Amino acid sequence: MDKVIVAKDVSLSYKADETIINQANFSINSGSFVFITGASGSGKSTLLKSLFGAIKLKQGSLVVGGVELGNVSRSKLNFLRRHIGIVFQDYKLIKEWTIEKNIMMPLIINGYEKSVTLNQVESLLKHVRLKHQAGKYPLELSGGEQQRVAMARALSHNPILILADEPTGNLDEYSSELIWNLLEGANTQLGTTVIVVTHHIPASLSIDYKHFHIEYGSINEIS
């Protein structure tokens, strides 16, 4: 099976005199569903950020989707990010754009045709049950609805990899279930690799998954 992520001796830090992740070695197969857990401040989000090149490596080699992130150029990083869907805990929606335009954004960046873009957005809005809110702005929606928009945006361009940072952290039960269903669907139906950083693995999940736990800077796989 193809490896979508290969990490060798990866160390991560924000300051020179501290290390958050220390010489981590792991790999993730294409099409797998992965959970990363750990206590607050253990480095879960830092590790996730390193996977889309938002944090530079202190040491080691990290290959994501065939791109070595060690000394990656801006154009290569952009290329990689165009094939990744990211979901943040704080949604990161563009406030001055409508819901429809927010979902459309990765498709525009990837240069999709307008007709394809419109069809895809319409279908995704149906999936996240927000078709009636298409013309609204993010701040007019509830937190759960905003996260569903962020989810639709992450799925819009059929990425090879979805990275989700505590996607259901602050959500109600209905929105949480919808988000997990969408992530599960992307993994099982489209074969997308999904990596989720979370405090709690939902009990209702019906798929096989891999579980990494971070403790004291080291990453351990839990079987």
Binding site for other proteins (CB under 8 A): 49, 52, 54-55, 74-75, 77-84, 86, 92-97, 105-106, 108-110
- Angle among Cα 166, 144, 35 to the nearest 5 degrees reads 20
* Tokens linked to 187: 């993994």
Using the minimum distance from each CB to other proteins, give the nearer residue, 34 or 48: 48
CB of 55 to other proteins, least distance (A): 8
Residue 67's H or E segment, with its range, is strand 67-68
CB of 168 to other proteins, least distance (A): 20
CB of 201 to other proteins, least distance (A): 24
Beta partners for residue 10, in sequence order: 24
Beta partners for residue 210, in sequence order: 34
The one-letter amino acid at 188: T
Using the minimum distance from each CB to other proteins, give the nearer residue, 117 or 176: 117
Using the minimum distance from each CB to other proteins, give the nearer residue, 54 or 190: 54
* Strand, coil or helix: 101: helix
The Cα-based distances of 110 to 20, 71, 84 in angstroms read: 33, 23, 11
CA–CA distance, 217 with 221 (Å, rounded to integer)? 13
* Strand, coil or helix: 78: helix
Its sign, for the CA torsion 133, 134, 135, 141, is positive
CB of 13 to other proteins, least distance (A): 15
Using the minimum distance from each CB to other proteins, give the nearer residue, 24 or 150: 150
Using the minimum distance from each CB to other proteins, give the nearer residue, 44 or 81: 81
Contacts of the segment 181-188: beta carbons below 8 A, 24+ positions apart: 182/127, 182/128, 182/151, 182/155, 183/33, 183/151, 184/33, 186/155, 186/162, 187/31, 187/32, 187/33
CB of 197 to other proteins, least distance (A): 13
CB of 222 to other proteins, least distance (A): 27
